[in-house]
């Protein structure tokens, strides 16, 4: 039976206000901006995707993603089969532009899972050969934006009261003060646990977003170790291409190192593995170009013994829904890094995922369950 053909690729810009400013070593923002794409087939079925704008990490913009989707990506998709055989066309359509590729790639998966009458998680489970029949469950950490020790301590206490049990602390803007910030967070969390009689352990993660030099990273992390601070991992301590420096950091302090900005594609992951630069990898759809390359990266990382985390930029509930579906389909354990939608004042969509504190709640509707932009 011949698949319906793609008849149109359309885009619209969506700006999502945040309830709290999001601040890292690379940027500060009060809203998330994204390009929402729809792929329509000859039966009138729509698939939804998105291309988040992240100047400081991917170098991609509204204008660039819109142009790629409306130009070369549309050129290769319109008239092509509306199924996963067309995902390769998307990846080959243009150099770079991974956020735009993410949007088209997700839209194709959403389209085919909708046509099959399956949720995206169910469809992906069948694709990767998972036998799980459990209702999808995914949990996320929450990020503490860069700030003073007092600000971070207050934010940490608030997030623990909100029900989060894994906190990611942004560091890397000031190596001289970073240890004090993390210790303030640790102490604040322990105070709240005692006051509220919280039995659950609160896990801390650090993310330097390439902000340290190797020697500064070792100094900060050694200070934290001496202070008895427990960390699950330290994310991207040094510059993206400084794999030698990251390997040095990994060898000279006790915490696990997670590669993020160092891994956009399979070639990057191979380089990290060969350099012995990381214990784990953070795979993001906007960095690699969608679900197709993300699944490959996650499977290769697993095969080489690396821990896996699925993360996000500041995309909306649409992209988070796709990323969370990958987590549940592949059975990746632990809290992920998918809090971007939680920062939004409200979801900009009718349908799709929602949040209950750290828990991501999935729609029971086919595909991503999104029916429109509000």
- Give the catalytic positions in this structure: 170, 284
Those residues with Cβ within 8 angstroms of residue 82's Cβ, 6 or more apart along the chain or in another chain: 3, 4, 5, 6, 39, 41, 42, 45, 47, 108, 111, 112, 115
Contact 17, 287 (CB under 8 A): no
50 contacts 319 by C-beta, under 8 angstroms: yes
Q: List CB contacts of 92: < 8 A, sequence separation 6 or more.
A: 76
98 dihedral zone (left: phi>0; alpha: psi -120 to 50; beta): alpha
Distance in Å from the first CA to the final CA of the chain: 36
Contact (CB, 8 A) for 218 and 249: yes
Contacts by 216-220 with C-beta closer than 8 Å and gap 24+? 216/175, 217/175, 217/249, 217/253, 218/248, 218/249, 218/252, 218/253, 219/175, 220/171, 220/175, 220/178, 220/179
């Amino acid at each position: 039976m011949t698949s319906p053909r793609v008849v149109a690729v359309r885009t619209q810009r969506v700006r999502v206000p945040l309830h709290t400013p999001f601040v890292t070593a690379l940027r500060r923002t009060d809203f998330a901006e994204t390009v929402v794409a729809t792929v329509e087939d000859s039966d009138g079925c729509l698939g939804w995707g998105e291309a988040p704008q992240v100047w400081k990490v991917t170098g991609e913009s509204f204008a660039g993603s819109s142009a790629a989707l409306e130009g070369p990506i549309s050129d290769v998709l319109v008239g092509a089969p509306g199924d996963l055989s067309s995902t390769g066309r998307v990846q080959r359509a243009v150099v770079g532009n991974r956020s735009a590729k993410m949007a088209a790639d997700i839209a194709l998966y959403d389209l085919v899972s909708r046509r099959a009458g399956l949720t995206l998680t169910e469809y992906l489970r069948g694709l990767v050969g998972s036998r799980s029949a459990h209702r999808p469950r995914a949990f996320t950490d929450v990020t503490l934006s860069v700030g003073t020790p007092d600000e971070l301590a207050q934010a940490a206490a608030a997030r623990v009261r909100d029900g989060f049990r894994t906190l990611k602390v942004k560091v890397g803007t000031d190596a001289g003060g970073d240890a004090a910030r993390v210790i303030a967070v640790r102490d604040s969390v322990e105070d709240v646990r005692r006051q509220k009689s919280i039995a659950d352990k609160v896990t801390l993660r650090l993310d330097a977003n390439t902000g340290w030099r190797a020697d500064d990273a070792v100094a900060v992390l050694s200070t934290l170790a001496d202070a008895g601070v427990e960390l699950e991992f330290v994310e991207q301590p040094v510059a993206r291409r400084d794999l030698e420096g990251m390997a040095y950091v990994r060898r000279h302090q006790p915490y696990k190192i997670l590669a993020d900005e160092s891994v956009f594609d399979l070639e990057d992951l191979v380089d990290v593995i060969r350099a012995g630069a990381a214990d784990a990898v953070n795979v993001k759809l906007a960095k690699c170009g969608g679900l197709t390359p993300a699944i490959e990266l996650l499977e290769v990382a697993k095969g080489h013994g690396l821990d896996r985390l699925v993360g996000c930029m500041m995309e909306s509930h649409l992209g988070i829904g796709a990323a969370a579906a990958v987590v549940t389909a592949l059975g990746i354990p632990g809290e992920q890094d998918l809090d971007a939608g939680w920062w939004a004042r409200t979801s900009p969509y009718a349908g799709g995922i929602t949040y209950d504190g750290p828990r991501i709640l999935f729609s029971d509707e086919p595909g991503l369950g999104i029916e429109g932009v509000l």
